[in-house]
Structures are given as C-alpha cells and as structure tokens.
Homo-oligomer: A and B are copies of this chain.
Amino acid sequence: MGRLRKAFNHLTPPQVLAVGFIWAIICGTILLLLPFAATEPVSFIDALFTATSATTVTGLVVLDTGSDFTVFGQTVIMILIKLGGLGLMTFAILIVLALGKKIGLKERMLVQESFNQPTMGGMVRLVKMLLVFAFSMELIATVFLALRWVPEYGWSFGLFTSLFHAISAFNNAGFSLWSDSLSGYVGDPAVNLIITILFITGGIGFTVVYDSIRTKNFRQLSLHSKIMITGTLIVNVAAMFIIFILEYGNPETLGGFLWYEKILASYFQAVTPRTAGFNTIDIGSMESSTITFMLLLMFIGAGSASTGSGIKLTTFLVIVLAVTAYLRGKKEPVIFERTIQDHIVVRALAIVVVSLSAVLVSIFILSLTEDAPYILVVFEAFSAFGTVGLSMGLTHELSGIGKQVIIVLMIIGRLGPVTLAFALAKSKSSNVRYPKGDIFTG
C-alpha cells in the first residue's frame, strides 16, 4: 500500500487523471458484467464499451440502455457518467492549482485573472463550489423533469428517468433510457428547454459560470469568459438557422412537423452536436450536407474545464483569429482589446493536429474493418472523438475491432485535448540553438 502510494505520488497530474479514468472504466465493466446488471448476459467487449462510453460521457451505445440493462445497470451507468463528467472538471481546477504553485508570476496572473481569484485558499473553495453547483443543477433539473414525467410514467420510473436524464444532460453524456433518445419529446418545449439548458451550462465550463455569477457586468468578465459566452451564442444561433434551412423539406426529419416543432427540433439538433449527444430527430435520416456541418460542430465541441469534449470552442476561435489576423497582415490576433500570444496559437495548433490525426487514423482503420457506407464511418469517428454520442446507426453494427477503435477514440477524445492543453502549458527550452532556416510553404 505504501509502495502504491509512493508510485502514485510520482505520477504527473495528467497521468493521475488517466489512471483514474482507466480504474473507473474497469470497475464499471465488472459491475455491468454482474448477472443482475442486465436483462440478458452481456459480452465483455459490450460491457467495456458501455463503461467507457459512460465514463467518457460519450453516449454511443452498443446495447439499449433502457431495455438491455436493469435499474442496477442503469444506476452504474449513471454513476460512471457523474464520475467522468465531474472528474474532469475537478481535475481542470486542481491542475490549475498545481500550476499556480510551480509556475512563474506571469502564468499565476493568468490563473488569477481567469478565476478572478486572488488566493490559493480561494481555489479549494472553488472546487467545493463546483461540486455544490453540479449537484444543485442536477437536483433542480430532476424536480422540473419529474413535474413532466411523473404524471406520465408514475413515481418510480418517472423519478428515476428524471434523475438519469438530468445527470446525463448536465454531464453532456447523451445516454437516454429511450432507444430513440428524446425523439418522443421533439415538440415538448419544457423537456427541450430543461435538457438543453443543462448541457449548455455543463458544456460552457465552470470557470465561465463562476465568472458570470460573480461579475455583474460583461465588460468585467475575464477574456476567456467573454469569448466563450459570445462564441457559444453566435455558433448556436447560426447552427440553428443552418439546420432549419437544410432540413426544412426533408420528409424524414423536419418535413412533417408543425412550425414550432420545426424550430424546436432545429434548435435542439443545433446545440446537441457540441458534445451533448441527445437527439430529437433521426440522425441517420438527415441530409448529407447537414451531416457535413455537424462534423465541424462535433469537432469544435464545448468549453475548457467543462463536461464536454472536442478541441474546444476557444481552440477553434484562436485558430480562426490567428489565421484572419495573418491574412489581414496584422502582427498578432486581437480580440476584445487583447492580443493572443504566439504560444497560445501554437498550443491550439498542436491540439487540432493531434486531434485530426486521431480521427483520421480511426477512419482509416474503421474503413478497413467495417462494411458500411463511408459517411456512417466518418460520422461515428468524429462523434466518438468529440465524445458526442450521436450516431447515424453504425454503433450497433460495429465489428469487434471497430468497437475497440471507438473505445480508444472515446478515451483519447475525453482526455487528449485537456491533457495536451495543461501538460504543455509549460514548455522546456532546448539547450542547443541552431541558426534560423527558411522554407517555402504553399
């Protein structure tokens, strides 16, 4: 035990995070293999897939959560979601704490500006506040959902399904007890509103929520919060319009709906690809143009230190700003009267390149192992990497190797970008300095 603790102390924080995730997945797999966890015997790979999907808050399913698992199995899934979602958010704050101790004054200022938090003691308080905030959101949402679902399903299932969907939504997990996700409530304003508020709040990042509660005035928000709030608003509204127009005439999606159902469904499908993963219309029936657009949304993902994944909205915006500034001949990108430094641009570049490589390699392997249309394979890979959980229907038909690829990709997608971002916050300098060389590009 002493040796174990000693080994543990030698791990870097990202390694601690990875070990924690692997342990949760292993425990979850064992619990889901118990005879009373499922209605019929579950294979090892399917239990592992389900545990990974829950812990990484993805929501891709090879089994039907509502009918193939018992209430015990569903509870295990719910707890894994809670651990996975909260675990990463807490980690993000703890790592900031660790950074604050080791790094120089400049980085310490960054940490303090982001959290508007001048002392270390305040940081610990911040983690406590995160826990309280998460539980409160889930509790209040459960009550509101129960008002809708207890009358429909009775106390027992009505309460359980409300709690399950509240936790699944706040943690951007996308798991549902219904096999068609929330398609049964496509025109229900209450369910649409509660679920989307949960996953948007969970996905924007706790630092932004904390900053917003603390500050009354938009101008006083940290740069990070300003970008996240403005960016989320713009991307979501634009996505809603685009999906509304593209799917308007599609008889298998919006075509047959009433006007307000069309608007509600467009809104829901616009906000869900940024890693929430619930759906109210059939993804497999959407136009391939909409699917192409959703690939981009899934890759972008949510906010830093959130329950969502993807490369993160800020990473995407940093790239866009840097390229725009460069094309316009500006020396440095500027946003909200602040310049973005080179090392942030290079970090964003690293995250995008590593992420795209992971997705590309996965598509390559899946196109070898799966006998399915290319668009299904591409969509599945982007969905797994972004821990989105939407599927055009491939998940249920995955081969054994295909399941393994998706399992690895979900873990990379959940831990990769955040690990990269924080592990690389401090970079060593090379001892050998070479003269500068020039290369033509383009």
Contacts and interface: CB of A to CB of B under 8 A. Distances in A.
Interface of A: 110, 113-114, 207, 223-224, 227, 246, 287-289, 291-293, 296, 304-305, 311-312, 314-315, 317-320, 322-323, 326-327, 329-332, 334-342, 344-351, 353-354, 360, 363-365, 367-368, 373-375, 377-378, 417-418, 420-422, 424, 427-430, 432-442
B441 A421 contact: yes
Contact of A442 (B340, B347, B432, B436): B347
Contacts of A360: 292, 296
28 contacts: A114-B440, A224-B439, A224-B440, A227-B439, A288-B367, A288-B374, A289-B364, A304-B442, A315-B442, A319-B353, A323-B349, A323-B350, A323-B354, A326-B427, A327-B420, A329-B424, A330-B429, A331-B428, A331-B430, A338-B435, A338-B437, A340-B439, A342-B346, A344-B441, A345-B349, A347-B441, A351-B441, A420-B442
B323 A434 contact: no
A331 B363 CA distance: 32
B440 A305 contact: yes
Contact of A367 (B207, B292, B304, B345): B292
A329 B428 contact: yes
Contacts of A327: 350, 354, 420, 424
Contact of A114 (B424, B432, B438, B442): B438
Contacts of A363: 292
Given A374-B375, A427-B329, A430-B332, A421 B442 contact: yes
Nearest to A96: B440
Nearest to A365: B289
A233 B184 CA distance: 57
Chain B CB count within 10 A is highest, among A246, A348, A430, for A430
A320 B441 CA distance: 13
Given A322-B346, A326-B427, A375-B374, A351 B442 contact: yes
